[in-house]
Structure 1
């Protein structure tokens, strides 16, 4: 479609989503009129409309890595948290991190930011837009586009209640008498919320909580308003967009209301608009769903530039707790390589829990139960969801990754930090861009008090550090936070210099027995190879060099230890949870 104008492409997609009756809701006579308004809302001049971005272009390389943090993860007395975050990044993230994902920093009413009151304001307790602009001078910034729902305290929802203004048409309503048995639920709360309005009682759709009211994207206004928000974010420093909970965006009764074809089409529309406005901007879909469904959000390299690799956290934790790499090896062998212009967004910890839906059909019920039990031994909480038959199923495990790494299925041992670093060393080597939660960078354990005081299970992994205490810990050589930070810092710096760790470099899974997890990466120019081999047990393991198939005509050495492999070496000895990155250059 390279010779087709932006307007023609947008019009084509609009026809797939909106029929004439839908257009009339916004008084559009034609799809072309609506396309014009979307293009205008994005501030796309005729020159930008004609300047199509090259297809299958990788906007990343091995130097890209993303730090995930709340605006107020670090606190100082009488200092706005965004100022403190700037200080932390300037001190500790200059040469190891390229991008910062600031979780929703807008005014909100619940869910630690994901119940947005005003999309175009900075929460005044965090700082102001100038603070965001200052951070954008240090790093690329990722903003959350909380696209499925907003706060019930937002102006839009008040307009819905009062049947006035644009908000009156923006929310999805349904009859309480309807059959919703097919709807996929991520929570146990009732789907519909009764709301009194000037027009009488209405029942609004709430996928996540009754304070988070779902938008009605069948009304063109909603699509248009979010185009305006996207343009505003681009103008205020956003280079990456995380489409939060986007899988639930389109509702159609009689369907599961997840992964709807219209949802995929709307992502294509926004991607076209975004990349015409900023060629190297990146769209990332956050879809906590089974692995095979998640892969669909690549489209044909015309939807997400990157997808969250949601199966990785539970699979990797299962691997390290069980000492068995069979499941993660099978999964990785079946994962398709991302074509140019797309990549995986790898993470093993985040502000949310460790999702269990992505490993449906990847782990058995017994394996998931063992994972849950081991995490509960480390004080984990469990969030549940309601199934179509009314029963409940574990949706996610809420625990800090550092605490989770304190045990195996056999019980606790002395290898917590080694296991934690092993998990990250594996993740940093995999195909894709690594995303690192701030509490993983500094080894933060469970915050049981915050989870208890807030009544929210997810707060167990949302600790707020006193910045002066953190800097003291990071400067103390015997502190676990110092040990974690220095090792992860070293790994990230090393990774950023290896062409074989380009997010789209070749990856091939190795078969080295269940106690070892290994894969081979080769740079796009085929000049560098790295064999990433990890002992995923708390016992010493041996790897036969012949099983790795090193080319005899080249010199090989381990990037992590700087040790050269002797030509006559037969076996590589690995300490518990040790990883080697064996390279030829």
Structure 2
């Protein structure tokens, strides 16, 4: 129970009794989580920190616009809004999609036509000039990149999206700021308060101790994790790039700063925050400084504050980590369901491409079985491709259970998707080759990686189209928020012109970050027989089916069913309305599926939702076509 003394102390900050009751009831509900996590991180500094946090929270509560307060109440009545089958995401760079924020507002009808209810605009908060890691080197969290518009334009866009049932998601970079950020500038100027916002060391003693267990994230162009800065007179922790200064979250002032930023942006209409580089924010000597327990306490505390002021807002964790670590970003044990509302299922994406190359799903099965059940109140972010490279996050343990060598399979995948492997259909580029580990990540658009760029015959084009639709069908059917990356709905190919832009030339991930082709988008239905037309029509059909299939509510997990044929993946979803069995063929050959296997889950007949046909399951075998996909439900 909220202590009455605290309630009496805070109540005078409200002129309206109803507002006071709302705030204090939420504080009573989430206050224990907030205090417990803050004490776990900050110890005896917690009480002083809480006084400052209450001031920030009450101010933001009063400043929250009425329409957003109404959204909060609606979300409290429907807490599963991110889990519903009609939730479809779209991810785009605002400038590459429509020029600027006003241009995005003019394309909302296009998004609605796709069935989109969640729009993630890639980094648009004001970055440092020049090289900025694709916008992830933020100079000012309270300003929009000038060529995209203003903060008022962002608020207007958020309102327009909200009125049409689309939630706006933005990136929030937590681990670091640009070296040009005001905090870093004041640290270099010698202000002790701001020097404590960062990790600055006078000599190499501490950095060398940390480096013994730290990996290099970008070995091609960012060697080591520390950079000497003459103005600061010290070695600055710079995990990602020399111009991105890691923040010291052990300093409670950093927590308060970010709470202010989050609530400011939430009041501007941001409904989902993608917590970028969240795994890296806590540093501990002798570790890789990722996934430390304090990370989850800090996220839980920020989320508790958000639930009190703006409960209609959600967190999505950008944590590309092993399954055993990933579950903690959604919440385990005491944190169950109290950390982030969504996390990326990077492993699903990696296994999709792995199975497509190998025509073998045993590793896929083993990888999925390694995941602990997620909290039923949370959801996965699912994707075929994203703005980033593909790192072959395949564990040696999963590979061994599938009878494979992890190192050899990762090597095979890099060879295959760079087009070096004999007979490969893929056309990708090697990104960040690490000679010490042998790791080679891959850049490339989904269509180029799936074979469309290399296709020379109608049969090869058809195979590429079917591969793309297979990948999308799995992500739409797995259970979570499927995130369509801009252009995938048009089967766009690699854009090699990135090399002509100086600030992009050294980073080949821009090969899969093209400009939106509105000419193709406008003619895609008229040109239904083109690859773009076929993928677009197929994807729109898949989305419509998904949105009418209640079995895909994300509170229910997909369970792996052992497949009798290694080319086929079987996923089962048990729903109160009946069973949904998904059957996927990862090869270009037809595959027989035993009738008794299907009958064991569905009975003698089943509705195949993607085609609308009813199947008789009594024959000894049913034939799954090349790259075939079935969503079978009990009638």
Q: TM-score, normalised on structure 2?
A: 0.82
Aligned match of 2:513: 462
Aligned counterparts, 1:557-576, within 5 A: 557-566=607-616, 568-576=618-626
The 3-state SS of whatever aligns with 1:580 is: strand
* Among 307, 316, 320, the residue aligned to 2:352: 316
Show the counterpart of 2:311: 279
Check if 1:122 corresponds to 2:144.
yes
Contact kept? 1:187, 1:385, Cα under 8 Å: no
In the TM superposition, 1:76-91 aligns within 5 A as: 80-91=99-110
Q: Identify the residue that residue 372 of structure 1 maps to in structure 2.
A: 414
The 2-side partners of 1:74 and 1:551 are apart by 44
- Looking at structure 2, the residues matched to 528 and 537 of structure 1 have their Cα atoms a distance apart, in angstroms, of 29
Q: Structure 1's 252 and 272: CA in aligned 2 closer, same or farther, altered over 3 A?
A: same
Moved more, 53-62 or 271-280: 53-62
State the secondary structure of the residue aligned to 1:18. Answer: helix
Once the two structures are overlaid, the 10-residue window that deviates more, 332-341 or 258-267, is 332-341
Q: Secondary structure at the match of 1:345?
A: strand
Partner residue of 1:177?
Answer: 205
With over 3 angstroms needed to count, the CA separation of the structure-2 counterparts of 1:239 and 1:360, relative to structure 1, is farther
* SS across alignment from 2:198: coil
1:89-104 equivalent positions in 2, closer than 5 A: 89-94=108-113, 96-104=115-123
Structure-2 separation of matches of 1:136 and 1:105:
19
Query: CA offsets, 1:152-179, max 9 Å, x none?
Result: 2222222222234964432222342331
Deviation of 1:397 (Å): 1.7
Deviation at 1:550, TM superposition (A): 5.2
Whether 1:216 and 2:248 are equivalent positions in the alignment is: yes
**One of 363, 369, 372 as aligned partner of 1:327:** 363
Q: Partners of 1:220 and 1:357 in 2: how far apart? A: 34
Which deviates more from structure 2 when the two are superposed, residues 239-248 or residues 165-174? 165-174
For structure 1, the residue ranges without an aligned partner over 5 or more in a row are none
SS class of match (1:459): helix
The structural deviation recorded for 1:56 is: 12
Structure 2 equivalent of residue 481 of structure 1:
532
Work out the CA distance in 1 between the residues paired with 2:193 and 2:113: 44
Measured against aligned partners, the alpha-carbon deviations of 1:114-147 in whole angstroms (never above 9, x if no partner) come to 1112111122212332334323333111111111
Q: Distance in 2 between the 1:458 and 1:564 partners?
A: 44
In the superposition, relative to structure 1, how do residues 395 and 549 fare at CA in structure 2: closer, same or farther (>3 Å)? Answer: same
Deviation at 1:14, TM superposition (A): 1.7
Aligned length: 562
Alignment TM-score, normalising by the size of structure 1:
0.88
Q: Give me the whole-angstrom Cα distance separating, in 2, the residues matched to 1:575 and 1:551.
A: 21
Where in structure 2 are the equivalents of 1:109-508 lying within 5 Å? 109=128, 110-127=132-149, 128-129=153-154, 130-138=156-164, 139-164=166-191, 167-174=194-201, 175-178=203-206, 179=209, 180-188=211-219, 189=222, 190-197=224-231, 201-299=233-331, 300-357=336-393, 359=395, 361-363=397-399, 364-377=406-419, 378-384=426-432, 391-394=436-439, 396-406=441-451, 413-414=460-461, 415-451=463-499, 453=501, 454=504, 455-473=506-524, 475-508=526-559
Residue correspondence of structure 1 range 23-62 to structure 2 within 5 A = 23=45, 30-37=48-55, 39-40=57-58, 42-43=60-61, 57-59=79-81, 60-62=83-85
* Equivalent-residue separation in structure 2 for 1:173 and 1:126 (angstroms): 34
- Say which SS state the counterpart of residue 72 (structure 1) adopts: helix
Calculate the aligned-residue CA RMSD, in Å: 3.0
Is there any run of 5+ residues in structure 2 with no aligned partner, and where? 3-26, 64-68, 400-405, 420-425
Return 527-536 or 30-39, whichever deviates more.
30-39
Change (3 A) 1:238 1:254: same
Deviation at 1:261, TM superposition (A): 1.4
The CA deviation at 1:4 is: 5.3
